[in-house]
């Protein structure tokens, strides 16, 4: 039997606190109009003091398990994509496993910045296809707000907090048609967070503060080109045409990047799931959050073909093509 990964259920969690552009413009030199025009972001969610990637991940996971009609004990592998783990170690996946009240199953994190969910999905798919896992919990959870320099207007306007989860199960019908992941470390200095606790002061006079540093316009250019290429790669690998894709569920970094990918697919924006306006960039959480929203509100229907794609720090980028 050919084994496929089927998407059994999804869940999403957003912290209560909403931070608007208007509020940010009271503390840094920016405006709602500038942020909307350049990014499409109007507001984002900010985690409360007691919240962490694992606590938000638990909420999203429980919803996904319920949607799948499963209980935590049914899970035999947990993979969390996060760049904002609760602890350097153990992994957020281990902490999430404990929160879910289960033991023994393997649990580990994947670090691929904004592409963390796609990378985690890709790993999960290999386990299921190989027959070494039957039910995998895949989570993207991020607490970006604590990695931001709130006086840096070029980054603090962009990011938000949240978590999304998906439960994959083994099936004899497709499922995940394919996943494609890539990395190129030569771009490491365009988007990164220093870890000066471990590395010490670089001694170069560089800014070693532990906050997100980004050369936004450089990232933007590479992102648009790279995402265009991965769309072609994904369709070609499956012998499909652009018109075969029913929904695009992109990583939500910037509405202009999303629109460029939709244009490449010749797809009207009505077929693109967009959450960036209300959530900002939630890194590894953005795709599972968008997927969950569109499944729950009935846009994405069983049997439809969904293209997910992401791009972020590394650079690391990837895609997944799913028949839901
Ligand atoms: O998820 C991981 C991947 N990340 C991304 O894909 C992000 C990619 N980058 C972007 O989304 C965009 O580059 C940004 C939204 C970050 C910036 O937009 P941009 O159109 O590329 O602007 P820019 O960085 O070229 O800056 C243009 C101007 C600059 O002023 P000068 O030098 O032209 O006088 C900036 O200082 O806009 C200024 N600026 C701002 N002005 C008002 C930068 N941030 C702000 C701000 N408010 N918040």
CB of residue 281 inside a 6 A radius of ligand 1? yes
Distance of CA 140 to the CA centre of its chain: 5
Does the Cβ of 315 fall within 6 Å of ligand 1?
no
pLDDT band at 13 (very low <50, low <70, confident <90, very high): very high
- What pLDDT, on a 0 to 100 scale, did the predictor assign at position 250? 98
Query: Phi, psi (5° rounding) for residue 142?
Result: -145, 140
Interatomic CA distance for residues 85 and 274, integer angstroms: 26
| Every domain of the chain and the residues it spans | 4-173, 177-323
Express each pLDDT in 267-297 by its tens digit: 999 999 999 999 999 999 999 999 999 999 9
- Residue 238 Cα to ligand 1 middle (Å): 36
Hey, whose CA ends up nearest to atom 8 of ligand 1?
Answer: 220
Q: What is the pLDDT of residues 15-73, one digit of tens each?
A: 999 999 999 999 999 999 999 999 999 999 999 999 999 999 999 999 999 999 999 99
- pLDDT over 70 percentage in the chain: 100
177-323 CATH pick, 3.40.47.10, 3.30.70.120, 3.30.110.40, 3.10.20.30: 3.40.47.10
- The answer to whether 4-173 and 177-323 have equal CATH topology is yes
pTM of this structure: 0.97
> Counting atoms of ligand 1 from 1, which one is nearest the CA of 223?
6
Task: Confirm or reject: Cβ of 187 under 6 Å from ligand 1.
Answer: no
The CATH architecture that domain 4-173 belongs to is 3-Layer(aba) Sandwich (3.40)
Torsion angle, CA of 170/171/173/178, rounded to 10 degrees?
0
């Amino acid at each position: 039997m050919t084994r496929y990964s089927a998407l059994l259920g999804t869940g999403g969690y957003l912290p209560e606190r909403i931070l608007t552009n208007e509020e940010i413009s009271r503390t840094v030199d920016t405006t709602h109009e500038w942020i909307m025009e350049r990014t499409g972001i109007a507001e984002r969610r900010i985690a409360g003091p007691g919240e962490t990637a694992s606590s938000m991940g638990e909420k999203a996971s429980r919803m996904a398990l319920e949607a799948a009609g499963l209980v935590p004990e049914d899970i035999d592998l947990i993979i969390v994509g996060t760049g904002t783990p609760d602890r350097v170690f153990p992994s957020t996946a281990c902490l999430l496993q404990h929160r879910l009240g289960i033991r023994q199953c393997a649990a580990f994190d994947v670090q691929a910045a904004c592409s963390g969910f796609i990378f985690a999905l890709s790993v999960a798919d290999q386990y299921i296809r190989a027959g070494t896992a039957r039910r995998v919990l895949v989570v993207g959870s991020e607490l970006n707000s604590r990695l931001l320099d709130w006086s840096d207007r070029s980054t603090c306007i962009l990011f938000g907090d949240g978590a999304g989860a998906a439960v994959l199960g083994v099936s004899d019908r497709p499922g995940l048609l394919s996943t494609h992941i890539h990395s190129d470390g030569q771009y490491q200095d365009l988007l990164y967070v220093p870890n000066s606790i471990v590395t010490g002061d670089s001694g170069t006079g560089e800014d070693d503060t532990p906050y997100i540093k980004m050369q936004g316009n450089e990232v933007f250019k590479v992102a648009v080109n790279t995402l265009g290429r991965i769309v072609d790669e994904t369709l070609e690998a499956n012998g499909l045409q652009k018109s075969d894709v029913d929904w695009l569920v992109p990583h939500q970094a910037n509405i202009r990047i999303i629109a460029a990918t939709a244009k490449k697919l010749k797809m009207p924006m009505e077929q693109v799931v967009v959450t960036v306006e209300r959530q900002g960039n939630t890194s590894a959480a953005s795709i599972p959050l968008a997927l969950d929203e569109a499944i729950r509100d009935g846009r994405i229907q069983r049997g439809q073909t969904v293209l997910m794609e992401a791009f972020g720090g590394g650079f690391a980028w990837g895609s997944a093509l799913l028949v839901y």
